[in-house]
Amino acid sequence: MRRRKRMYTIKQASNQTNLSIDTIRYYEKAGLLPEVKRLPNGHRTFSAADIERIRLILCMKKANLSLEEIKYYLDISKTTNMTPEMIAGMQQQKEKVKNQIDQLQSVLNFIDKKLVEGSWLNIEHSS
């Protein structure tokens, strides 16, 4: 007996990915979700693979890739494994993210220091 794949409505896909319905539609129009199935009434249905693809897009966006770059990587991934150029590009992006993390850690350290000191500015108050 063959098991039917679970399909999700756009509202369910929105809830699972924390994206607005409009953003999901936009990603589809931009070609990031090219194979979304539709019911006879025209409503979109999303597979578990579609949900996973949306999560991958979100991860890549958080890594500061543009939608064009994301589309490029997704399109290539359908036809080939990662090329040396793709690997180099991802390594470069990884370094950028690590630098952002370091910068944010510096901000957290500064805030923690100021909380311990109990003052934002080290200015003597004269009476």
DSSP string, 16-76: HHT--HHHHHHHHHTTSSTT-EE-TTS-EEB-HHHHHHHHHHHHHHHTT--HHHHHHHHHH
Mention every residue, 6+ apart, whose C-beta is less than 8 A from residue 114. 120
CA dihedral 7, 77, 93, 48 (to 10 degrees): 10
Per-residue pLDDT tens digits for 34-87: 888 998 998 999 999 999 999 999 999 988 889 998 998 888 777 777 788 888
**For residue 2, pLDDT beyond 60:** no
Confidence (pLDDT) at 119:
80
What number of helices (H) and strands (E) belong to the chain? 5, 2
Q: Which one is predicted more confidently, 121 or 37? A: 37
Tell if the pTM clears 0.75, that is, is over it: no
Stated as kind and residue range, the H or E segment containing 82 is none
Work out the percent of the chain whose per-residue pLDDT is above 90. 55
Confidence (pLDDT) at 1:
58
